[in-house]
Amino acid sequence: MATYKEVLKQAQKQMLEKDLGDQAPFLYLLELTNMEAHNLYMEMDQEIEEPLRHTYEEGIKRMCKGEPLSHILGYEWFYGYRFNVNPHVLIPRPETEELVAYILAACDELFSKQETITAADIGTGSGAIAIALKKEASYLQILGTDISADAIQVANQNAVNNEVMVPFIVGDMLEPIIDRNLQLDILISNPPYIPQEEKMEKSVVDFEPHVALFGGEDGLKFYRIIFEKCRQVLKDRSMMAFEMGWNQRKPLEALVQSYFPDARYEFIKDMSGKERMLFIYFHC
């Protein structure tokens, strides 16, 4: 019988040989054992049970082929909540948690006098943004749209698992909102913003949906689509919140000034000091 330490070291060695780093094997072992890190460290010299070892080593084989840890587990943690993920949806990223936090702060600052706030998450994918917002602010009347029926199926299951009522609708960008004559206080989107020809990590390109990654030749295709039609679904006093690429401020700023010359807007830096969020305010 092998110990936790021996099995982990072997897994890390395999991953390093593939130039994949050695952090994921430890995180995977944490999830499989359902332990906190300090507890697992105390168990390192204990023998690992054979069924657990088998599951772990099979997962490491898949990781060595580039498959994301989240797909092997079948879930990812986001804003403290657990979300099912699969190849039909983008894996929620930590930087998107910052977008959620800033949206919640904006709700408190701009709409505190309203009993309800209507919002929509466009291109919702797994539903992580919409569900996290609803969990944190029950007064939000939020829905999500996505062109992928498979993604909406995942989002609906995540809403059930996280015990919230969030409607998810299959449809292209803003069309489901326009079709229902809905009027929003907040429009949210983490759209595909990677330029079509940009080089990406193999684990992303091979295992995550391209429809959720690539935003046309310059990465701004879906911002343009939203900017063109957003006033049809936004109240006079409203805001939009977007995630963006770290190097897209200049072209996005030109777009904002072109479409909304009278609007107030700001680019917000993430914890790494990179401009990763765009907020646009109408009469706020």
89 falls within a domain: yes
Quick one: 140 and 273 in the same domain?
A: yes
**What is the predicted pLDDT for the residue at 251?**
94
Q: 5 and 44 in contact (C-beta within 8 Å)? A: yes
222 falls within a domain: yes
Q: Residue 116 sits in a domain of what CATH number? A: 3.40.50.150
Quick one: 89 and 56 in the same domain?
A: no
Evaluate if pTM is beyond 0.95: no
Quick one: 59 and 87 in the same domain?
A: no
107 falls within a domain: yes
Q: Would you say how long the chain is, in residues? A: 284
Rounded Cα–Cα distance for residues 226 and 104 (Å): 21
Rounded Cα–Cα distance for residues 150 and 129 (Å): 17
**Domain assignment of residue 234, given as a range:** 76-282
Which of 43, 65, 87 is the C-terminal boundary of a domain? 65
Quick one: 47 and 188 in the same domain?
A: no
pLDDT in tens, the chain (284 residues): 899 999 999 999 999 999 988 899 999 999 999 999 999 999 999 999 999 999 999 999 999 998 999 999 999 999 999 999 999 999 999 989 999 999 999 999 999 889 899 999 999 999 999 999 999 999 999 999 999 999 999 999 999 999 999 999 999 999 999 999 999 999 999 987 666 555 545 444 454 454 444 445 667 989 999 999 999 999 999 999 999 998 899 999 999 999 999 999 999 999 999 999 999 999 98
Rounded alpha-carbon distances, angstroms, from residue 85 to 73, 89, 126, 212, 229? 9, 6, 7, 13, 30
Q: How many domains does the chain have?
A: 2
Q: 93 and 123 in contact (C-beta within 8 Å)? A: no
Quick one: 202 and 235 in the same domain?
A: yes
249 falls within a domain: yes
Quick one: 61 and 124 in the same domain?
A: no
Quick one: 93 and 46 in the same domain?
A: no
- Strands (E) in the chain, as ranges, are 75-78, 81-84, 117-122, 140-146, 168-170, 184-189, 234-243, 264-269, 275-282
Q: Which two tokens stand for residue 78?
A: 């986001």
Quick one: 104 and 11 in the same domain?
A: no
71 falls within a domain: no
Strands 275-282 and 264-269: antiparallel
211 falls within a domain: yes
135 falls within a domain: yes
Quick one: 114 and 241 in the same domain?
A: yes
**What is the predicted pLDDT for the residue at 192?**
77
Quick one: 197 and 61 in the same domain?
A: no
70 falls within a domain: no
